[in-house]
Structure 1
């Protein structure tokens, strides 16, 4: 039997039957502006996606966590007014959750998959969440494509298995994924443990100082344990022998007093550089070359305390990119803009409307003062206080100062691609990464990719995917084509 074929009888529509004009670009305020809440197709698509499975996370279901401390090591007050970054030596409690992306709650840890790198800083100005990965880039650049991407990584609705056809069909039709796929199938695609991998904020964020001057920044967390990775053969063996390998390693290292740590850096771009930079600096599929914007050390993160209860503290922990503090804010990155909605919505659905009241999620260095009341698992913390603003009964007032600085926008609303820059190409950085590799590293990359593509059953899907790698570098594509042909016969 084969999957049922459907005859196209009309256009793609919304859940209410309205035709969809553009399913690949979300609506923005002008070509480079932030995503608009009026884009109901985007919101409907993300909201539906967040509710497809219960109760585990749709993505990042398989994870481990630990508490620790972030310590400022360099003065960054010229760039941000965030209180937890205000002076050298200042310490802030953190909670970290590491995870795989595609696996279910009971999946193995040692698999070829990006790793989530989610951090909660319990600052005196409220919780700041930084929700990134162990790679500096991602597969797509617009959140409207995220549900489709994850559907290709999950089980096929007909076969019930992950299908190479789906994976490489989507990647081949989404050439912006070429850079991340090269990362994923290279030597660092399977970390040996959570302690032995770097972390990245991945997105571009805004920092602003006390004078209102704004900067664009990217975060880098460099492991002090050194990068260690597994070959495909080592991972296959480990996943079979110990599915909990990464979780066990993190917990036992902390129990032994061998506290893992990361040195934290940022890249800083003056706001005025963005418009004329050689490629779109808000494109999640691109890195900023260090030659253009070097790393600046800002601090050190150490994990030194294990959770007492995995369900209460790891599974019920929530992280959302919209949890900002004064001096830090978003950028027009279209993937980030979509995540600002999607993560909070997922947690309200999965954990509940009062998820922020749970001990692992509520502020530890200050108190949340809101007018949000009632709902599932509400603990009555507000007593009889008034629940509206403004009020004459001592209710918490607004500050009249935004957390971040405004961003100028212009142009017509609509489904738009990001503005084009001189080097906005889906293949340049993937090719650069390939050419940085040694011959041995290239060989392993080709073997890993060819092994994954061997299960493709349609020639045109394999040929289209290979063509993207050929555009990144002719040698890359030529070697991959030969390897795939050898395995597929």
Structure 2
């Protein structure tokens, strides 16, 4: 008679040998010391010690899901990207949400930008669109990114995030004023990953079959409606349920309530860029919708949860350098730095062959490279030659660039970005403040003043610089903030 255990598969070692006893360590006699020949013991312990890879320096805390992007409008006049080639065409996707500053074990419900990293598994290779839930960012030059992140992370002496560091940097970096105003406003703490918008944030290039190119910005507008938390609601939720956003996303998909976003783009003819009133490649600026109205191009739906969070969420990698024909970069100085930094971070964190993992490799085509060996290499290339050109039938180049070349002139050097007619660090932060209703303005002032007031008592210079940037954005904004901070610091 067949027992239930006889129907079950056999537990094996990593080498595939059957395990005789997984309950008891092999010892020298009953009660004696363990033997080094117990392969199961040492294999288990060694693997357990290595179960965690280095967490991301930023965006460590995340959740993800698979889905489908469907084209809803004809954009072939602007791009030759195959996955955008016809209305109704569908492409598999993987979307990873994340906070920026928190560690892997941090709470979800915190005031922090949210990463919105989207991988399209297209027939021409993977296209990664690495954005946030904000249309702008704190800085405009990638050279400042490590300094900025160091202010958001734990202080090397105290081991905690310090208001002194945060506001010292923001006060000395006035280009951050727009993003800080956004972050401390009503949308600064999303109620869930499903109830927030996503943005490509950077400016990208689209090129059509005729060789014409355009500048574009991506917008993902949540079909669930935007919902956010107040600071008090977030404080309570972060303590009661640190995994709130991850759980909400997973359970919604399990219920069949598939979250979706309407995908829009703003399109700027290439000839407009030089004379546009703002630098169109400045990540701290938006393109006002009155200038370039967003047009709908598709719909994104998430409909499948990962089976293994570590394998598919933690080991997922995204790089803005992963383009497909018809889409390319812009001169955005933050984007230019990220073209290198993201892929390099993954080579360090996951390994040089991270692209071989199921979540990262192309799903609708095959990657054919001459890269061999290294950590995680699976030998997939067999006996194929690993050089080019070769006369053994190896892969060859197409001779057609993925995107349009851009004209350059002038001398090399560490230049500031070119200034356009209305470029300054405060105009759009002021515009954003003046769009708010009175209650929203008061909540913004309350959120900002509560954090600025934590600056050390002997560093009034940091407080004044911080408040001064908001005063330059809008006089009323600055005055209300100054009064609120002064009152809070009196109470300390």
- Once the two structures are superposed, what CA deviation does each residue of 1:332-354 show, in whole Å capped at 9, x if it has no partner? 00000000000000000000000
Structure 2 match to 1:478: 479
State the distance in 2 between where 1:281 and 1:376 align. 40
2:403 pairs with 1:404: yes
State the distance in 2 between where 1:454 and 1:242 align. 28
Give the C-alpha shift of residue 172 in structure 1: 0.3
State the distance in 1 between where 2:343 and 2:114 align. 20
Give the C-alpha shift of residue 454 in structure 1: 1.5
Question: SS at 2:281's partner residue?
Answer: coil
Residues 163-178 of structure 1 correspond to what in structure 2 (within 5 A)? 163-178=162-177
Give the C-alpha shift of residue 377 in structure 1: 1.2
Structure 2 match to 1:59: 58
- Once the two structures are superposed, what CA deviation does each residue of 1:159-207 show, in whole Å capped at 9, x if it has no partner? 1000000000000000000000000000000000000000000000000
Structure 2 match to 1:236: 235
State the distance in 2 between where 1:451 and 1:280 align. 33
Structure 2 match to 1:200: 199
Give the C-alpha shift of residue 272 in structure 1: 0.6
* Kept in 1: contact 2:62–2:313 (CA 8 A): yes
Question: SS at 2:413's partner residue?
Answer: strand
State the distance in 1 between where 2:418 and 2:435 align. 29
Give the C-alpha shift of residue 54 in structure 1: 6.5
Structure 1 match to 2:138: 139
Task: Specify every segment of 5 or more residues in structure 1 that has no aligned partner in the other structure, as ranges.
Answer: 1-52
State the distance in 2 between where 1:415 and 1:237 align. 46
2:461 pairs with 1:469: no
Structure 1 match to 2:79: 80
Question: SS at 2:280's partner residue?
Answer: coil
State the distance in 2 between where 1:397 and 1:55 align. 36
- Once the two structures are superposed, what CA deviation does each residue of 1:418-477 show, in whole Å capped at 9, x if it has no partner? 111111100000000000000000000000001111210111000001000000000000
- Once the two structures are superposed, what CA deviation does each residue of 1:9-28 show, in whole Å capped at 9, x if it has no partner? xxxxxxxxxxxxxxxxxxxx
State the distance in 2 between where 1:419 and 1:231 align. 38
State the distance in 1 between where 2:313 and 2:376 align. 18
Structure 1 match to 2:286: 287
Residues 117-136 of structure 1 correspond to what in structure 2 (within 5 A)? 117-136=116-135
- Once the two structures are superposed, what CA deviation does each residue of 1:237-290 show, in whole Å capped at 9, x if it has no partner? 000000000000000000000000000000000001000111100000000000
2:186 pairs with 1:187: yes
Structure 1 match to 2:453: 454
Give the C-alpha shift of residue 297 in structure 1: 0.4
Question: SS at 1:98's partner residue?
Answer: strand
* Kept in 1: contact 2:53–2:350 (CA 8 A): no
State the distance in 1 between where 2:167 and 2:71 align. 43
Structure 2 match to 1:358: 357
Structure 1 match to 2:437: 438
Structure 1 match to 2:7: none
Question: SS at 1:413's partner residue?
Answer: coil
Residues 310-349 of structure 1 correspond to what in structure 2 (within 5 A)? 310-349=309-348
State the distance in 1 between where 2:158 and 2:58 align. 20
Question: SS at 1:234's partner residue?
Answer: helix
State the distance in 1 between where 2:209 and 2:324 align. 13
Question: SS at 2:218's partner residue?
Answer: strand
* Kept in 1: contact 2:223–2:262 (CA 8 A): yes
Structure 1 match to 2:224: 225
TM-score (norm 2): 0.88
State the distance in 2 between where 1:488 and 1:180 align. 24
Q: CA RMSD in A?
A: 0.7
State the distance in 2 between where 1:308 and 1:454 align. 45
Structure 1 match to 2:150: 151
- Once the two structures are superposed, what CA deviation does each residue of 1:106-132 show, in whole Å capped at 9, x if it has no partner? 000000000000000000000000000
Question: SS at 1:462's partner residue?
Answer: helix
Question: SS at 1:319's partner residue?
Answer: coil
Question: SS at 2:479's partner residue?
Answer: helix
* Kept in 1: contact 2:70–2:91 (CA 8 A): yes
Residues 257-296 of structure 1 correspond to what in structure 2 (within 5 A)? 257-296=256-295
* Kept in 1: contact 2:60–2:98 (CA 8 A): yes
State the distance in 1 between where 2:379 and 2:143 align. 38
* Kept in 1: contact 2:122–2:362 (CA 8 A): yes
State the distance in 2 between where 1:419 and 1:369 align. 40
State the distance in 2 between where 1:420 and 1:96 align. 35
Structure 2 match to 1:8: none
Give the C-alpha shift of residue 220 in structure 1: 0.1
TM-score (norm 1): 0.89
State the distance in 1 between where 2:453 and 2:120 align. 43
Structure 2 match to 1:212: 211
State the distance in 1 between where 2:53 and 2:410 align. 40
State the distance in 1 between where 2:160 and 2:419 align. 38
Structure 1 match to 2:298: 299
State the distance in 2 between where 1:449 and 1:174 align. 16
Question: SS at 1:353's partner residue?
Answer: coil
State the distance in 2 between where 1:316 and 1:101 align. 17
